[in-house]
Structure 1
Amino acid sequence: MEALQNLRGLDKILVPVRLTGKSKFVFQCNPGVPCFKLCCSDLFLPLTPYDIIRIRDKLGLTTDEFLLQYTEPFILPKSGLPIARLKMSENEEKTCPFLGDGGCNIYEVRPLACRYYPLGFGLFRNKDERRNEEIYYLVKEGFCQGLDSGEEMTVDEYRESQGIPELEKPIVEWAEIIMKKESLGPISVPEKSIQLFFMVSTNPERFRSFVFESKFLDMFEVDEKTLEEIKEDDLKLLQFGFKWLKTVLFGENLIKRRKESPAVKKVKPF
């Protein structure tokens, strides 16, 4: 423990330098680093829709069981949209519920936010070039000695080593929904829209029931191939759900509406 006595303070510092995929930094995290596991306590740890599916399956739980036991809802301040975040243990250190003596007990399905550390990530819309741009930055915490040693690597190399690209690809449209809502500024979000976004983002089982057991298919045209896919495949269901959210929240014509009767009320878009 002697190596921990001379650590810098516990402040979290966001280094105000924009990094690209080719930017280089030094970092390592393993049991040999004196601060190992100290970053796994008192976290704000957002879960992506794909995180929820992967961790739920690893634990052998239903989505409802996982959400109730391990998560809590949180409203993103810029977008006003609700997501699930990991609920810390009720101990003095407020440790991650999956932290064990040897490190992370669900390491192979650890959340995207954990894989990124010590990098921060942002997505914004370049209106001039009509494309999304990714930005990265370093997060320095007072106890972390991993940034003082280790192998030099680029941001892209680090992302590949952590399996990040393959986990980001299925949720790109989800991130775009959040980004687009943020770009609209502080407008009021209809309660129904909030509920729909949270359902699709956190609970594929409930969304599947909504699609097949409500009047959903009376309102939207869905081809037979897609219906067969989303009956069984949660990841396919996510992709479908994101397109549907873009349709009902932003008026994008990604899921075609049927000719509606006057009795069917549309969801008010943002």
Structure 2
Amino acid sequence: LNRAAAGTIALVDVNGPKLDGEVKDLCQGSAFHPRVRVVGSTDYAITGGSRLVVVTAGAARKPTETRLDLVKKNCGILKAIIPKVLEHSPDAAICIVSNPCDVMTAVANKVAGPTVPPGRIFGSGTNLDSSRLRSLIAASLDIDTKSVHGYIVGEHGESCVPVWSSVRIGGVPLLPYGEEPGTPHMEMHAEVVKTSTDVIRLKGYTNWAVGLSVTHIATCVLDDTRSILPVSTCVRGYGGVKEDVYLSLPCVVGASGVVQMVEMHLTDHERKLFHKSADKVWDVQKHIWDQV
């Protein structure tokens, strides 16, 4: 809304009264943001002709649940949403934010079927996890987060993999060549993994950081920036992965969604962790695959 990346923002929700309240609240602030039309309905027809659809619908995650615990709850929700989205916006890029993000992205792609080009439906993935890691590194060095470059790949969740070998500070590697990450790095990774659970425990939900992350992704799609972001896509064939599993890797993101995947160099240890992440997500995905 504040970036004016879209001329119209259409909100859809099953809760009509709450939806009306959100639309009114946003519209009443129109004097303080660029001119953007905000509309809402329980009918997906209002989204017709969209260039980008962001799917956030899903059951709320409890503090004791992992993202993977949500899979059966949210699978049915995605199966109902995707056909309606494609009916009214067949050419839209679709970004899945619903958790567990990677499995839900796989579900959305299977529901959509082979008529939707690869990469058109992708997940927000580890874009936020990577931001969290960069911010922790920046804080430890007392520098601007924008000066830290690096990625977390794999699952958006507990088995995510920080690619320490690729982290750069102003172009300089964080770790000397061949050096393995130490205790401080492991502690940062642990903080990235648990921070969303901490926020949910403290305030009941997460919204600001993930909202900013998805806004960044949306801007890249709507402006066709072809920026490289760690988002969730099918990684079959990458590094020997044999299943149609969806995980995050750096990808070129533009108007059509994921334009291409970037071949990222991983150390042997990082590659092993990536495969473990793939195995973990696939273990869940395969159990619901026949139900999609």
| TM-score when normalising by structure 2 | 0.25
| TM-score when normalising by structure 1 | 0.26
Question: Which structure has the larger Rg over C-alpha atoms?
Answer: 1
Higher relative contact order (CA 8 A, sep 6+): 1
Quick check: which one's helix share is greater? Answer: 2
